[in-house]
Amino acid sequence: AELQRARSEKLEALGTLAAGAAHELSTPLATIAVVAKEVQLELAEMPVSDDLKADIALIRTELDRCRHILDQMSTNAGQATGETLADVTSSQLIEEIRSLLDVRLLNRLRIRDRSDNAVIRSPRLVLAQSLRGLIKNAFDASPEGTDVVVLLERTDQHLVMTIRDEGPGMPTEVLVRIGEPFFTTKEPGAGTGLGIFLAKNVIERIDGSLRIESNANDGTTVVVRLVRQQEPEEIAAAGALRGK
Ligand code: ADP
């Protein structure tokens, strides 16, 4: 428990740092982006080399990428600045996640909710964004035409969400680096390598866990366990048991 606490304090410090840095960097970055756009527009009217035009286009692409990274880092800001925890039912959580996903992906998302409306206490939006990221990863890895399956179940203590895809899975060299900040195998611009790192951070802060099962060529299964709020009957039953 002591170790757990030290670890969660460390995560919290890291989250605060990341959110602070993201916030500080976003203003100057926005200024640079505006100026870069103006320069590009002016260069377009001038007799300059194609190389120079390509350079300014590259600057703008890379600025976009920086902004994307900062956006993801500040997904964590709600946590760091203490987005309030609220009770959320599994169906509310699913609705929230669905609302964050592209409609084209929704057609290929199979949700099986067997959790009987389990309730969890969480920073609702931040958690939904994190889970959406994991589902998006599953789609990114999925071959055309295959579905992503999300299963929700309840155990004694947890709401368990399992996200399964039929993608290529992860080779060992990827698997060992999973959760490392900025580790990505995606094209520059497509991935930031922060998704799993931040999701794990958010989930562990509310005492949940994230586990990945993957073999090369055999799809990937992501298992997220979230602490379930006990219902009044359960608390009463536990009390009766203790009373014996
Ligand atoms: P990003 O998606 O921006 O790359 P993530 O932290 O979400 O960042 O993921 C890191 C890497 O983990 C991805 O680049 C990819 O190589 C791998 N990965 C994540 N989810 C899956 C999945 N469902 N199937 C295969 N590889 C995955």
DSSP 59: H
Q: Which numbered atom of ligand 1 lies nearest the CA of 174?
A: 16
Ligand 1 binding pocket, CB closer than 6 Å: 133, 137-138, 141, 165, 167, 170, 174, 178, 183-186, 191-197, 220
* Upper half-sphere CA count for residue 240 (Cβ side, 13 Å): 6
More confident residue, 3 or 101: 101
Residue closest via CA to ligand 1's atom 7 equals 195
- This model's pTM is above 0.80: no
- Distance (Å) from CA 185 to ligand 1 centroid: 7
Q: Mean pLDDT for the chain? A: 88
CB atoms within 10 A of CB 195: 22
3-state secondary structure of 66: helix
Q: What distance in Å separates the CA atoms of residue 97 and residue 89, rounded to the nearest whole number? A: 12
Q: Mean of the pLDDT values across residues 71-91?
A: 74
Would you state the pLDDT for residue 243?
65
pLDDT confidence bin for 11, thresholds 50/70/90? low
CA angle 211, 165, 8 (to 5 degrees): 20
Q: Which numbered atom of ligand 1 lies nearest the CA of 137?
A: 20
Residue closest via CA to ligand 1's atom 3 equals 191
| Tokens matching residue 92 | 């509310």
Would you state the pLDDT for residue 241?
74
pLDDT confidence bin for 16, thresholds 50/70/90? confident
Whether the pLDDT of residue 136 is over 80: the answer is yes
Q: Which numbered atom of ligand 1 lies nearest the CA of 192?
A: 3
Q: What distance in Å separates the CA atoms of residue 128 and residue 199, rounded to the nearest whole number? A: 10
Q: Which numbered atom of ligand 1 lies nearest the CA of 190?
A: 3
Query: Ligand 1 pocket check: which of 131, 161, 164, 184 to mutate, most ligand atoms within 8 Å of Cβ?
Result: 184
Q: Mean of the pLDDT values across residues 167-190?
A: 88
Tell me the pairing of strands 86-89 and 119-122. Answer: antiparallel
Residue closest via CA to ligand 1's atom 25 equals 169
Whether the pLDDT of residue 60 is over 80: the answer is yes
Give the DSSP letter string of 182-241.
Answer: T---SPBTTB-S-HHHHHHHHHHHTT-EEEEEE-TTS-EEEEEEEEBPPPHHHHHHHHHH
Instruction: Give the pLDDT confidence of 153-166 residue by residue, as tens digits.
Output: 999 999 999 999 99
Would you state the pLDDT for residue 199?
92
More confident residue, 119 or 70: 119
pLDDT confidence bin for 223, thresholds 50/70/90? very high
Q: Which numbered atom of ligand 1 lies nearest the CA of 191?
A: 3
Assembly ipTM: 0.98
Q: Give the CA distances from residue 112 to residues 145, 148, 150, in Å, rounded to whole numbers and listed in that order.
A: 19, 11, 6
Query: Ligand 1 pocket check: which of 196, 210, 214 to mutate, most ligand atoms within 8 Å of Cβ?
Result: 196
Q: What distance in Å separates the CA atoms of residue 40 and residue 56, rounded to the nearest whole number? A: 6
Would you state the pLDDT for residue 213?
94
Residue closest via CA to ligand 1's atom 23 equals 138
* Bridge partners (DSSP) listed for residue 223: 162, 211
Would you state the pLDDT for residue 232?
79
